Structure 1
Amino acid sequence: MVSTMVQKVLCVAEKSSVAKAVAGHLSGGRFTTRNTTNKYIKNYDFEYRFSQWNSCQVTMTAVQGHTEELDFTDRFRKWSDCDPFELFDAPVNKTIDKSKQSIADNIQREARGATILFIWTDCDREGEYIGTEVRSFARRGNASIQIRRAQFSNIERTHIIRAANNPKDLDERQALAVAARMELDLRIGAALTRFQSLRLQGRYGLTPDALISYGSCQFPTLGFVVDRYMRVKNFVPETFWYLKLVHTRDDITTTFNWDRSRLFDRMTVVLLFESCLASPGALVKSVTRKPARKYKPLPLTTVELQKQGSRFLGMNSQRVMKAAEALYTSGFISYPRTETDQYDQNIDLKALIVKQKDDTGGWGWGAYAGNLLNGEFEQPRRGKHNDKAHPPIHPVAYAAGSALSDGDQRKVYEFVVRHFLACCSKDALGETTTVSLEYGDEGFHASGLTVIERNYLEVYPWDRWESSQLLPQYREGERFVPTEVTMQDGKTTAPGFLTEPELIALMDANGIGTDATMAEHIDKIQVREYVFSVPKNSRGSAGAAAAGRGSGRGRGRGRGAKATTGSTRGGGNSGGNNVFVPSNLGVALVEAYDLIASDMSLSKPFLRKEMELNMKKICNGELSKEHVIHQSLEQYREVYMKVSQRIETFRQVCSRYIQS
């Protein structure tokens, strides 16, 4: 709309830091600041000429995430006033969080003199829903206010200017998907939290007011940990036998591996071994040389950032995401919540590399970035995922060492930059040599690798690809007498307890949570003492030690449940050197649900995965919010009824584990 009249535009961001950054970019740093009745929220006033609205008076302000909360009406809030089963259908309403009433009032007040509400919440599903909250507050002050939303993935200046001049509409379907998820989480979480708490309180060493909290994402996450723990606990090692051939030539000793790898029948291996010893020598069947390639990493997604942060940086996923969020709001990296592992063809990757080439902060990648700009650049690989909202995580500005005083932020920033530069590099190249032998009637082989061009490995130290010892010269058709041939034995070993990268990978593959919430779910099962994080080097005793720690009280706050003091025991320390093991209570709950409702157990990912898929269908317009809520509630209601009908079995299973 074009008008000669100066309009007022009210801009609202999801975080105070983003509001200040956007105000700074749009105003060129020339804005005035007004306090609000909330000490964390400021109003920034300035003038800006929008391409679509001409010169406008602008007020930039913010919310603090969600302002409203969903809860049951008063009749159903007290545990003693209703059967938990009623919560599947009990009426709910939205109210403004009392601590955030001043935020809603500020938006309502500022909207009165505004023509346009320009929403700057994060561009993800949750941000769309928060945008609808902001819209409702603004319309209370001005029912006719126009609504637009900014589409952005980082707060670098040129990106913000582009977003300001290309407004979009709120995505109503994404907001509906969040509304559906919130209602389901409230109803299912409250019903099952109250059910299992009331049935177990005061029993088997649990306190009379024990809170046994349930969450439809947390329980499948717990289920993965318990499943691996039981596999380790029940593992029975088996003995196997194998043959090994060793040959020394030109002062190089080469070990040839048996083509059969190993067999579990000792007598069969003895006969094959004797057959080999009766042979006059080994025959070189082939010598093959093939080019080898180690692929550079795919563009960085949130899930990969969390996995690699735990694996390489020694940080748990929550610390990684906290650091990434801080880097984003400071303008150093793009939006850190994305499923996309392919860059848009229009993005100027070289312009981003230019910002890293001077490297005045001494990170150590300046010369490498310069080489990329001087002919070594290669387009990044294209993955299979694109959320159509955000690009892969990448640096948008250079951060001198003095700009990042926080150790976690320094680690994450270095990883993001090095990962990005590696994505813009060439694959590492090498050559493998494989020598295949026939000794008796048995086949053996040995391989060696020569790295020819390291390429991306020069800037990405977390990937290892090293030249192995060179093989001696062998010719096809030649014979030689082995230096040594032996029959050896070994035992199969149990799998390790779950690491955080493994757990994140399982959650991702099974649709448990989103890239934005996985870290939160992993933290919650620790806070609730269903799971402990213990050092990896205690493999053999970790399960027994952790599963025997207390009862695992399941502390925390369930939706619609009584609040208790949260415990962070183990919750903040899991990282690359830790593994997860369940508490007695964690094992008890999983085993009880698996026994009673094995076809749709709450510890399995299937129900939650289907729910998440249905959320996407709401976003795509394939299903309605009401249909998804009804379908999911019917499924969980059925599980509830099964368990309540066999409550004594439920208690017996729990007592067996909790009291052990």
Structure 2
Amino acid sequence: MRLFLCEKPSQGRDIAKSLGATKRGNGYYEGAGSVVTWCIGHLVETAPPETYDEALKKWSLQALPIVPQEWKMIVKKSTASQFKVVKSLLSKATELIIATDADREGEMIARELVDLCNYRGPIKRLWLSALNDASIQKALSQLKPGHETESLYYSALGRSRADWLIGMNLSRLFTLLGQRAGYQGVLSVGRVQTPTLKLVADRENQVKNFVPVPFWDLDVILQSESGGVVFAARWQCPEDLADEAGRCINQADAITAEQQIRNAAQATVQQLKTERKKEQPPLPYELGELQKICSSKFGLGAQATLDTVQSLYETHKIVTYPRVDTGYLPENMHSEAPAILRAMLQSDSQLGQLMTQCNSELKSPAWNDAKVTAHHGIIPTTEVAELSKLSQAERGVYDLIKMRYLAQFFPPHEFDKTEAIFTAARYTLKAVGKKIVVPGWRITLLKNNENKDQDGDSASKDDDAGQELPQLTEGHACPVIDCRIDAKKTKAPALFTEGTLIEAMKQVSRYVTDPRLKAKLRETTGIGTNATRAGIIKSLLDRKLIAQKGKRHLIAASEAHDLLAAVPAAISNPGTTAIWEQALDMVESGELTLDDFVSKQSTWIGNIVEKYQNQPFNIKITTEKTPACTLCSSPTRRRKGKNGDFYGCSKYPDCKGIVNIEPKKKTTRK
């Protein structure tokens, strides 16, 4: 029996339909010589500590560190029935086709079942980038040998075990130390969670402690040599009067310059430099960039963006696989461009004018096999989108994706950038101008004749000029029409939004000072992965370690600041986590074995436990005032139950006393 193992039911349904396996069974489809079944995410999970030793149910410092000698997996209760289906089918299979998501986590979802169910038959890998029928048929004709992707499993398993070791040991360690100091809550510590929390807390501290510094700009309004055309040049503050950023920090200096330039009445052109520049279209989206843009443009959170693009991929089948970390495309996919562009036009007739101007034979730098990883950028599929069936969020995200793709078939944006240096009195002025020569791909940013950037990005690094300079000649003078002093203040960095936090997690090297570590971090994917970052942020929000300020910004809770002050710097240092991710990449490439990776993690955890378990823990965290246990009078903690929250004894499981929380009474207006 040829068995296809998918990641989720909808994926199984699509693949079964493409195979012609139309007969529905209990948790599977069969037909045309194949059986298609599915997981529901992870059907199994790493066993909790008490599975290894019942005594570990009770948290104690003496029991730490907890390091399994042989790792165990257990079936998740919520999906136990589907596990039975998969196990039964695996026992009958003569060939297994892994058809889970084409990434590290997808590989683990399938392979952990292969190991637990002791399947030892041949394995092949279906590597899908989209779930429309054409993509499935193409992938079916190009099945990979199972061994080619097996290392992804070891990398994912290493990540899972490292998370378990840190979460189980350090959350217990710092919670118990906190309890010894009088704190009654649970202090959660995570391999990726804690460094992410530090990013938010550090940014919040920067904003709180920021002291604005005043500075002054001086703009000089000049007229062209021939008269008529007016343009602006900016005074270049002399180095001995400026701060490190070249700003004038003394108003009197700006006033003196303004008076002398005005009295001079003219500025002489000393130097002219014009450079033709070409700007290639931006790459198709990778998930992190899409999350950042959607946060800025639509106010969508990171998880909401992921859910939306996942729906476009999985339900509507109009975009390719979204959990990707690159925007580059395989060169052989260029041949699909005419079909994709036709589908885009069929779904949206308003693209007609742009379609007449694009050239499907053009090949932008996005097509580059050398820069494609396991996945490629997010692009539309050949499916015709039924726009009326998309939600507002889905329509907005789909528009972003399709316009980025369309931009690949326009020529580069070309412009002349001119820098003009003037002297007036004894001062230097600088004017910058831009003249568009070829609009190129940037016309795709105009939608419905609105002069808006579809991406939400700034138009160009060179667009700050904002003016087209007149014809100028070196040695000639331009009359001074006016001088304007603008009083400004330096601005604090902005608090993170979910979108900018995603970017910070990716570009974590910016927040590390050690030059050697910074150099290494530039080569890694940062904190977490594109598939997990949104979930990490959501987890921090759910645990109330971070909170929203206003509509979009994020701040750290007071408990979070205290926890970060208590944990070892290596735990909260973003650089440490990024190095762990690099080690996982080494496991994937075969440079490091899974056992060696886990052994190093175990030793490191043991050293932390040994160092901290007898140290005083100074923690002052404001927590909810809870009632005493009705059985032993000990403090209680707020817990979540099937029927809502309740107060449970802090000495659980030794004492199982609870205090129910009275529901709030509804008030009615008379």
Instruction: Give me the TM-score of the superposition, normalised by structure 1.
Output: 0.80
Distance in 2 separating the partners of 1:177 and 1:504: 22
> Structure 1 residue 32 and structure 2 residue 23: aligned?
yes
Residues 226-285 of structure 1: CA deviation (Å, up to 9, x unaligned): 111111111122233444322356555433212235233556656656665674642121
CA gap of 1:84–1:643, structure 2 versus 1, over 3 A, is same
Shift of 1:489: 4.1
Task: Kindly indicate whether the alpha-carbon contact (under 8 Å) linking 2:359 and 2:410 is maintained by their aligned counterparts in 1.
Answer: no
CA gap of 1:373–1:244, structure 2 versus 1, over 3 A, is closer
Shift of 1:627: 1.2
CA gap of 1:382–1:360, structure 2 versus 1, over 3 A, is closer
SS of the aligned residue for 2:291 comes to helix
Task: Kindly indicate whether the alpha-carbon contact (under 8 Å) linking 1:353 and 1:369 is maintained by their aligned counterparts in 2.
Answer: no
Q: Which residue among 312, 318, 324 is the counterpart of 2:303?
A: 318
Shift of 1:513: 0.3
Shift of 1:383: 7.4
> Structure 1 residue 651 and structure 2 residue 628: aligned?
no
Structure 1 match to 2:222: 247
SS of the aligned residue for 1:647 comes to coil
Residues 487-519 of structure 1: CA deviation (Å, up to 9, x unaligned): 554332222212333321221123210111011
Residues 129-168 of structure 1: CA deviation (Å, up to 9, x unaligned): 12213324664xxx66332221222223233223223332
Q: Which residue among 94, 97, 102 is the counterpart of 1:115?
A: 94
Task: Kindly indicate whether the alpha-carbon contact (under 8 Å) linking 1:534 and 1:580 is maintained by their aligned counterparts in 2.
Answer: yes
> Structure 1 residue 21 and structure 2 residue 34: aligned?
no
> Structure 1 residue 106 and structure 2 residue 85: aligned?
yes
Structure 1: 4+ residue segments shifted above 6 A: none
Distance in 2 separating the partners of 1:531 and 1:12: 38
> Structure 1 residue 148 and structure 2 residue 124: aligned?
yes
Q: State the identity %.
A: 23
Shift of 1:89: 5.4
Matched letter for residue 592 of structure 2: L
Q: Which residue among 502, 512, 515 is the counterpart of 2:530?
A: 515
Task: Kindly indicate whether the alpha-carbon contact (under 8 Å) linking 2:234 and 2:431 is maintained by their aligned counterparts in 1.
Answer: yes
Distance in 2 separating the partners of 1:58 and 1:110: 11
CA gap of 1:180–1:111, structure 2 versus 1, over 3 A, is closer
> Structure 1 residue 125 and structure 2 residue 104: aligned?
yes
Distance in 2 separating the partners of 1:455 and 1:183: 50
Matched letter for residue 95 of structure 2: I
Q: Which residue among 534, 556, 573 is the counterpart of 1:582?
A: 556
Shift of 1:287: 3.8
Matched letter for residue 212 of structure 1: L
Structure 2 match to 1:435: 420
Matched letter for residue 497 of structure 1: L
Distance in 2 separating the partners of 1:384 and 1:441: 55
Structure 2 match to 1:298: 283
Task: Kindly indicate whether the alpha-carbon contact (under 8 Å) linking 2:301 and 2:499 is maintained by their aligned counterparts in 1.
Answer: no
Q: Which moved more, 1:511-520 or 1:95-104?
A: 95-104
Distance in 1 separating the partners of 2:280 and 2:180: 57
SS of the aligned residue for 1:290 comes to strand
Q: Which residue among 565, 573, 591 is the counterpart of 1:622?
A: 591
Structure 2 match to 1:341: 327
CA gap of 1:201–1:349, structure 2 versus 1, over 3 A, is farther
Structure 1 match to 2:544: 529
> Structure 1 residue 258 and structure 2 residue 235: aligned?
yes
Matched letter for residue 559 of structure 2: L
CA gap of 1:533–1:259, structure 2 versus 1, over 3 A, is same
Distance in 2 separating the partners of 1:374 and 1:494: 45
Task: Kindly indicate whether the alpha-carbon contact (under 8 Å) linking 2:131 and 2:320 is maintained by their aligned counterparts in 1.
Answer: yes
Distance in 2 separating the partners of 1:335 and 1:487: 52
Matched letter for residue 234 of structure 2: N
> 5 Å matches for 1:559-570?
none
Structure 2 match to 1:162: 138
Shift of 1:22: 0.9
Q: Which moved more, 1:211-220 or 1:113-122?
A: 113-122
Distance in 1 separating the partners of 2:96 and 2:135: 20
Distance in 2 separating the partners of 1:413 and 1:274: 55
Distance in 1 separating the partners of 2:179 and 2:89: 50
Shift of 1:395: 1.1
Distance in 2 separating the partners of 1:269 and 1:587: 42
Matched letter for residue 211 of structure 1: V
SS of the aligned residue for 2:530 comes to coil
Structure 2 match to 1:569: none
Distance in 2 separating the partners of 1:283 and 1:404: 62
CA gap of 1:89–1:190, structure 2 versus 1, over 3 A, is same
Task: Kindly indicate whether the alpha-carbon contact (under 8 Å) linking 1:292 and 1:429 is maintained by their aligned counterparts in 2.
Answer: yes
Shift of 1:345: 1.8
Matched letter for residue 341 of structure 1: G
Count of aligned residue pairs for this structure pair: 578
Residues 78-127 of structure 1: CA deviation (Å, up to 9, x unaligned): 23466462324576521111222222221232344432122211121112
Distance in 2 separating the partners of 1:242 and 1:358: 48
> Structure 1 residue 233 and structure 2 residue 211: aligned?
no
SS of the aligned residue for 1:477 comes to coil
Matched letter for residue 407 of structure 2: A
> Structure 1 residue 408 and structure 2 residue 393: aligned?
yes
CA gap of 1:626–1:354, structure 2 versus 1, over 3 A, is closer
Task: Kindly indicate whether the alpha-carbon contact (under 8 Å) linking 1:245 and 1:257 is maintained by their aligned counterparts in 2.
Answer: yes
Task: Kindly indicate whether the alpha-carbon contact (under 8 Å) linking 1:256 and 1:445 is maintained by their aligned counterparts in 2.
Answer: yes
Distance in 1 separating the partners of 2:409 and 2:167: 45
Shift of 1:526: 1.3
Q: Which residue among 357, 377, 382 is the counterpart of 1:397?
A: 382
SS of the aligned residue for 1:300 comes to coil
Matched letter for residue 403 of structure 2: R
SS of the aligned residue for 1:126 comes to helix
Matched letter for residue 440 of structure 1: A
Distance in 2 separating the partners of 1:133 and 1:220: 28
Task: Kindly indicate whether the alpha-carbon contact (under 8 Å) linking 1:338 and 1:393 is maintained by their aligned counterparts in 2.
Answer: yes
Shift of 1:425: 2.5
Task: Kindly indicate whether the alpha-carbon contact (under 8 Å) linking 1:353 and 1:373 is maintained by their aligned counterparts in 2.
Answer: no
Distance in 1 separating the partners of 2:395 and 2:473: 52
Q: Which moved more, 1:625-634 or 1:247-256?
A: 247-256
Distance in 2 separating the partners of 1:532 and 1:12: 39
> Structure 1 residue 506 and structure 2 residue 491: aligned?
no
CA gap of 1:148–1:383, structure 2 versus 1, over 3 A, is closer
Distance in 2 separating the partners of 1:11 and 1:239: 65
CA RMSD of aligned residues (A): 3.0
Task: Kindly indicate whether the alpha-carbon contact (under 8 Å) linking 2:338 and 2:360 is maintained by their aligned counterparts in 1.
Answer: no
> Structure 1 residue 483 and structure 2 residue 462: aligned?
no
Shift of 1:612: 1.0
Shift of 1:181: 1.5
Residues 399-434 of structure 1: CA deviation (Å, up to 9, x unaligned): 433563333222222211111111332222223333
SS of the aligned residue for 2:410 comes to coil
Residues 354-393 of structure 1: CA deviation (Å, up to 9, x unaligned): 4446634336324423432476x34243679846322221
Shift of 1:19: 0.9
CA gap of 1:454–1:112, structure 2 versus 1, over 3 A, is same
Q: Which residue among 57, 65, 71 is the counterpart of 1:86?
A: 65
* Unpaired segments ≥5 residues, structure 2: 238-245, 446-453, 509-525, 626-670
Distance in 2 separating the partners of 1:282 and 1:346: 56
Distance in 2 separating the partners of 1:194 and 1:81: 8
Structure 2 match to 1:185: 163
Task: Kindly indicate whether the alpha-carbon contact (under 8 Å) linking 2:412 and 2:440 is maintained by their aligned counterparts in 1.
Answer: yes
Q: Which residue among 168, 174, 178 is the counterpart of 1:200?
A: 178
Q: Which residue among 63, 66, 70 is the counterpart of 2:39?
A: 63
Distance in 2 separating the partners of 1:328 and 1:434: 46
Residues 584-611 of structure 1: CA deviation (Å, up to 9, x unaligned): 1122222333xxx44x2x2211221221
Residues 602-650 of structure 1: CA deviation (Å, up to 9, x unaligned): 22112212211111111111111121112123334334444434324x3
Instruction: Give me the TM-score of the superposition, normalised by structure 2.
Output: 0.79
Distance in 1 separating the partners of 2:36 and 2:366: 39
Task: Kindly indicate whether the alpha-carbon contact (under 8 Å) linking 1:14 and 1:65 is maintained by their aligned counterparts in 2.
Answer: yes
SS of the aligned residue for 2:475 comes to coil
Structure 2 match to 1:328: 313
Matched letter for residue 634 of structure 1: T
Distance in 2 separating the partners of 1:340 and 1:123: 14
CA gap of 1:243–1:216, structure 2 versus 1, over 3 A, is same
> Structure 1 residue 609 and structure 2 residue 578: aligned?
yes
SS of the aligned residue for 1:482 comes to strand
